[in-house]
Amino acid sequence: MYSILIVEDDDKIAGILSDHLQRYGYSVSTAEQLHAIKAQFVKIDPDLVLLDINLPYFDGFYWCRQIRSISNVPVIFISARTDDMNQVMAIENGGDDYITKPFHLDLVTAKIKSVLRRAYGAYALNNAHSQTAELAGLFIHPEKNELAYSSARIELSKKEFTLFRKLSEAHDRIVSRDDLLEALWDEVDFVDDNTLSVNVNRLRRRLQELGIHDAIQTVRGQGYRLDVNWGDG
């Protein structure tokens, strides 16, 4: 399930979009603090952002640049500004697409599906990270952010999967906290150090759902190590 963050100061439009997208199976959040979009983006960690231009405090162009400073997640602008210059500015400030108001909901859905395919799905570049891999009996499915072990299967969030992938690629070796922070967030200085610990503990709990316990080991003062001997018990 892809998650979408709606940044829109018109509650009626935000509600219409949210209801429509949830019916199509998306997980939808609406920005509530329009003066702190970047902080909410980090907290929610969406797969795509629908972003209005005319916002209080700072406009959508500003917030798109702020998002781009920490993430390459797709951003689609939705605005009543119909002139070419604003559409050019949207692309130049990091947007992936542009929808003008008033809009047809089917068009919004089609554009979202198209951008998600380019970013994560069938049109995304094929590389080693898109291939199913196996590690000590654990099957890793990057195209779906899934892990499968024995008869159990779980779907991880984007951050959880990135964290696991980074640890698994260097399994049995220590991965420093800085390396993990850089893998998860482009702008490390913006992230509280405790946030990594929270994400590691969350991943540990998810692995327990597969019957894998104590796989992520803390190496005090250095980082973390993935112990792949979960099949030896």
Q: Which two tokens stand for residue 23?
A: 């019916």
d(CA 188, CA 137): 33
CA atoms lying within 13 Å on the CB side of residue 229: 7
pTM: 0.56
Position 193 scores a pLDDT of 65
Assess contact for 105 and 20: CB atoms under 8 A: yes
d(CA 140, CA 2): 19
Position 32 scores a pLDDT of 92
Question: Domain coordinates of the chain in residue numbers?
Answer: 3-120, 130-226
d(CA 116, CA 189): 28
Which one of 3.40.50.300, 3.40.50.1370, 3.20.20.150, 3.40.50.2300 gives the CATH number of domain 3-120? 3.40.50.2300
Position 127 scores a pLDDT of 46
Position 128 scores a pLDDT of 43
Position 109 scores a pLDDT of 94
Q: 3-state DSSP call for residue 139? A: strand
d(CA 210, CA 152): 6
Assess contact for 156 and 146: CB atoms under 8 A: yes
Q: What's the CATH architecture for 130-226?
A: Orthogonal Bundle (1.10)
Position 214 scores a pLDDT of 93
Question: Which residues in the chain show pLDDT less than 50?
Answer: 125-129
Position 183 scores a pLDDT of 83
Position 126 scores a pLDDT of 45
